[in-house]
Chain A
Amino acid sequence: MAFFLQQLLNALQVGSVYALIALGYTMVYGVLTMINFAHGDIFMVGSYLAFFASGLLLAYFGQAPPLVIFAGVIVVSMLGTSLLAVLIERAAYKPLRNAPRMSAVITALGIGLLLENAFVAIPAIGPAPRTLGELLPATQLSIGGVTVSSLQLVIIGVAVLTMLALDVTVRKTMVGIAMRAISWDHSIVPLMGVPVDKVISLTFASGAAVAAIGGTLYGMAYTIDPYMGIRIGWWAFISAVVGGIGSIRGAMLGGFLLAFVEIFTPVVLKSSSYRDMIAFSLLLVLLVFRPTGILGRTVSQKV
């Protein structure tokens, strides 16, 4: 029992990160029906911004309470990452908005490779893995044989709060309503006086801000390197597809679902060697029966 609870906690931690990144894929797809393959690398940039911000903040405001430093690191990372995402959107995607979708997707792949290789080439960053260190005091509890670390609770807690906030924003605010309207019918919406360009930029910015939160949390628990966005990016993208790409709640659900499959496949199987193979086979089966994902809406093509 303790064993399963421990694995459940492991899955929640991994799922929190997947879900946060999956949101960025799904939001951009929602407004532009485009898959932003650079999103995994934007997440990577977010974790590096957090890395540098934590170094600077600790050097200049070392006496401040850890919680203030932690909040400061997240805010700096969110702002920087959002700015980068908006710049990328304006410079690379906007000129291609009326070109075939494939062009924009290939451009996104290119941007991703550019970010990875630029980060490897910059001497201050380089390919060596780094750790963000413990921004918050770390403690560990053992409840009935289940080990819970404070960091784990922070990761899951912050992720859940972020997702709730995003869900409310998209459902209740004017900007959120505009985003959903564009995703519903992008040709009518401009006629209603909605500033489409601004809303699209805001979508990129908020997707990146959420990824930056994920990047900061990830950097506190694991090591960061310029290529980290590739693997996490793919898993998060698949999470978004499984949950139903375009659906916010679907992305969250998909992120946790994928993490559960990842964690529990080696638990059920004797050896962990076949983990990824089994995990993705299960997902393929799921997509055969629900091609639009779990919460995705069926698309009817108008002729």
Chain B
Amino acid sequence: MNRMVLIVSLCLAVGLTSCTPPSDTTTTTEQGQLTGGTIKIGLNAELTGSIPVVGQSCRDAAEFAVKQIDDAGGIEVGGARVMVELITEDNEDKAEAAAAVAQKLTTSGVLAMIGPNASRNAVPAAEVAESAHIPMISPWSTAPRLTMDARSGAAKQYVFRAAFTDDFQGVVAANFAVQHLQTKRPAVLYDVSSEYNKGIAEVYRTTLQEKGIAVVAFESYTSGDKDFSAQLTKIAQTGADSLFLPNYYSEVPLQVKQARRLGYEGAILGSDSWGSEELLKLAGDDCEGLFFTTHYAADTATPAAKEFIAAYQATYGSVPDDVAALTYDSMGLLFSAVQAAGSVEREAVRNALATISDYEGVTGTMQFQGTGDPIKSAVVIQIKDGKFTFFQTAQP
């Protein structure tokens, strides 16, 4: 990994120095002088790296949304119709590459950027989007600091998301652990080198502490690790009765397997990063009966969602996962903002996005109140008979 990081950061450094002054393309789009009645939307997705299924779902759903809108004759902007063109770039699931892709998309004159998905990539890309004044919607990132300026603590102007934040999800998971699992001795194992895992684990711990329950083990590892036996042996020894794994679907099956092998018998719960079919393939029976919090459940969907799920399934032959649903909603939010703005200027679209008050999405009803974080509900899912099954809804 280290050699790649070095190479990518070198490329990035070169890219940054050559692109610092706002280029001509940016100004033209800001003045709304677009040719041919087409708007370009950039997609910054994790197509390779450790969570390729996320990138794949994101691309599929984005292409699906673009095709749907173009087949319907494009978006109506101030009486005229504009078509949508998607420019997809791979960020390799690396923070440096995600920022470089954002830079590249900015200079190639896109109206807005969708993605990246993982917070570790979305946060650096958001810095680029904010300084280039280009609207960005991350479908899946839940880290609170995505939409917050690191220095001032104020809300970023151009960065939005379609998902709820880690704070909310950490609270939902903690409430569920207390109310449903009746945990007395909770334990946590999380990836300390990843923004997302760390953030959610910390909120989980604080929420439990506020309820008077102390976390008995708060163990971590670093991305790329596949042996968690040292930490899990420690957790099993503390006599923990619940284990929170806010980790990615590619690692969770190993963690569950190793925990069971090392004699841990308590409940296990997770977060929205579990929501990929790949988890079921890798885990087999090991994850049966476990719970996780997420954005939507395919089996209790609203009419709007049912229509999307059926059409998506007809196109790709699989049920859309949460990333697909959130990407579709991100595109939908953007399209309705363009329509509401009646303009294809970046600033007008940004203003329209920030004031969306009632968007009926696939993952629930969303509204923005001055910040880039939507107000929406979460669901708890149980893995039952090798399927993700709706368990309960949690309101904000």
Q: What's the nearest-Cβ distance from chain A to residue B363, in Å?
A: 24
The reply on A103 being an interface residue by CB < 8 A is no
What CA separation (Å) do A92 and B10 show in the bound complex?
26
What CA separation (Å) do A266 and B237 show in the bound complex?
13
> Contact: A3 with B263, CB < 8 Å?
no
The reply on B81 being an interface residue by CB < 8 A is no
> Contact: B3 with A13, CB < 8 Å?
no
**1/0 contact trace for A1-45 toward B, CB 8 Å?**
001001100110110000000000000000000000000000000
Q: Which of B246-266 contact A (CB under 8 A)?
A: 250, 253-254, 261-263
> Contact: B1 with A231, CB < 8 Å?
yes
> Contact: B254 with A10, CB < 8 Å?
no
The reply on B192 being an interface residue by CB < 8 A is yes
Q: Which of A98-147 contact B (CB under 8 A)?
A: 109, 113, 120, 126-129, 131, 140, 142, 147
Q: Which of A252-293 contact B (CB under 8 A)?
A: 262-264, 266-267, 271-273, 275-276
Would A6 and B226 be within 8 Å (CB), given that A129-B250, A272-B219, A272-B221 are in contact?
A: no
The reply on B231 being an interface residue by CB < 8 A is yes
Q: Of B4, B224, B231, B263, which contacts A147 at CB under 8 A?
A: B263
Q: What's the nearest-Cβ distance from chain B to residue A232, in Å?
A: 9
Q: What's the nearest-Cβ distance from chain A to residue B38, in Å?
A: 31
> Contact: A127 with B263, CB < 8 Å?
no
What CA separation (Å) do A54 and B66 show in the bound complex?
42
> Contact: B219 with A126, CB < 8 Å?
no
> Contact: B254 with A223, CB < 8 Å?
yes
Q: Of A140, A147, A149, A230, which contacts B1 at CB under 8 A?
A: A230
What CA separation (Å) do A230 and B225 show in the bound complex?
11
> Contact: B220 with A262, CB < 8 Å?
no
**Chain B hits for A228, CB < 8 A:** 224, 226
> Contact: B237 with A272, CB < 8 Å?
no
> Contact: A7 with B49, CB < 8 Å?
no
The reply on B32 being an interface residue by CB < 8 A is no
**Chain B hits for A230, CB < 8 A:** 1, 224
What CA separation (Å) do A10 and B259 show in the bound complex?
12
> Contact: B220 with A273, CB < 8 Å?
yes
What CA separation (Å) do A263 and B219 show in the bound complex?
13
**Chain B hits for A129, CB < 8 A:** 50, 250, 278, 282
Interface size on A, residues (CB 8 A): 37
> Contact: A222 with B263, CB < 8 Å?
no
Tell me what chain A mostly uses at the interface: helix, strand, loop, or mixed. Answer: helix
Q: What's the nearest-Cβ distance from chain A to residue B32, in Å?
A: 39
**1/0 contact trace for B349-375 toward A, CB 8 Å?**
000000000000000000000000000
Q: Of A109, A264, A271, A276, which contacts B222 at CB under 8 A?
A: A276
What CA separation (Å) do A131 and B279 show in the bound complex?
12
**Chain B hits for A48, CB < 8 A:** none
The reply on B285 being an interface residue by CB < 8 A is no
> Contact: A3 with B233, CB < 8 Å?
yes
Q: What's the nearest-Cβ distance from chain A to residue B190, in Å?
A: 10
> Contact: A142 with B230, CB < 8 Å?
no
Q: What's the nearest-Cβ distance from chain A to residue B8, in Å?
A: 12
**Chain B hits for A11, CB < 8 A:** 230
The reply on B234 being an interface residue by CB < 8 A is yes
> Contact: B282 with A142, CB < 8 Å?
no
For A7, A13, A129, A264, the residue with the greatest tally of chain B CB atoms inside 10 Å of its CB is: A129
What CA separation (Å) do A147 and B50 show in the bound complex?
30
What CA separation (Å) do A228 and B224 show in the bound complex?
7
**1/0 contact trace for A208-231 toward B, CB 8 Å?**
000000000000001101011011
> Contact: A267 with B230, CB < 8 Å?
yes
What CA separation (Å) do A142 and B263 show in the bound complex?
9
What CA separation (Å) do A228 and B254 show in the bound complex?
14
Residues of chain A whose beta carbon lies under 8 Å from any beta carbon of chain B: 3, 6-7, 10-11, 13-14, 109, 113, 120, 126-129, 131, 140, 142, 147, 149, 222-223, 225, 227-228, 230-231, 234, 262-264, 266-267, 271-273, 275-276
Residues of chain B whose beta carbon lies under 8 Å from any beta carbon of chain A: 1-4, 48-50, 52-53, 192, 218-222, 224-227, 229-231, 233-234, 237, 250, 253-254, 261-263, 278, 282
Extra A-B contacts (10), CB below 8 Å, given A7-B230, A230-B1, A262-B230: A113-B3, A113-B4, A126-B52, A147-B261, A223-B226, A230-B224, A266-B230, A273-B220, A275-B222, A276-B222
